[in-house]
Amino acid sequence: MREYNATLPFPLVVVRRTNSTITCRLKSITTAIGITVTRDLCVQVQRNAELWDVLLWLDCVPRRQANHYVCPFCPEDERNRYASRESLWRAQLFDPLAQWMNRLAAAKWLLLCESAHGGSTWARLSADPTPPLRPDAVQILPVHTVDGARDKRELGRLPRPYPHPNPTTSFIPPDAKGEPDEDPNA
């Protein structure tokens, strides 16, 4: 995976590794976005340790045939042959991940949305310079973290989230610095 990291816009930081799974986060990107690599590659969004949405899911199951590898998930007439399992993984998982990350670089905000009565959740990336105000957003997070901080605890004391038309929604600006705002009700 080290050789792939050099080609990615945001380095992968391994959080956990087992015999069958590698769990990563992206350096300088909100920890709400994580990557799990098994036989496939999944970029998921979590909120409060619960899966909120999947932003990218790439399936790949290397199968050896004679002197090459193929992915049986690809349509037979479009199936490429690869000299090694690693070259198949690169073409089917890591190159598409790098392309997705290039689009992620332009994103400013991660919107965590939920249907009015709960049940359905989804995430959206937004390149708007200011956070988009959406009634279905329950949380808006900056995509890019300050100096690669892993979470809000590492950012120090942050101001209160900006007000939002949906009272259950909050977001923290990416350049948040200083003391919390005074609470007029305190």
pLDDT digits (tens, 9 = 90+) for 98-107: 999 999 999 9
**What is the predicted pLDDT for the residue at 51?**
93
Whether 185 has a pLDDT exceeding 80, the answer reads no
Q: What is the mean pLDDT of the chain?
A: 79
Query: Is 150 a residue whose pLDDT tops 50?
Result: no
Query: Can you tell me the mean pLDDT for 57-72?
Result: 92
pLDDT for position 184: 36
Structure tokens at 65: 């045939």
Examine the pLDDT at 176 and tell me if it is beyond 60: no
**pLDDT tens column, 122-131:** 999 999 988 8
pLDDT at 155 over 60: no
Predicted local distance difference test score (pLDDT) of residue 130? 87
pLDDT bin (cut points 50, 70, 90) of residue 1 is low
State pTM to two decimals.
0.73
Percent of the chain surpassing pLDDT 70: 77
pLDDT tier at 168, thresholds 50, 70, 90 = very low
Domain range list for the chain: 2-104, 107-186
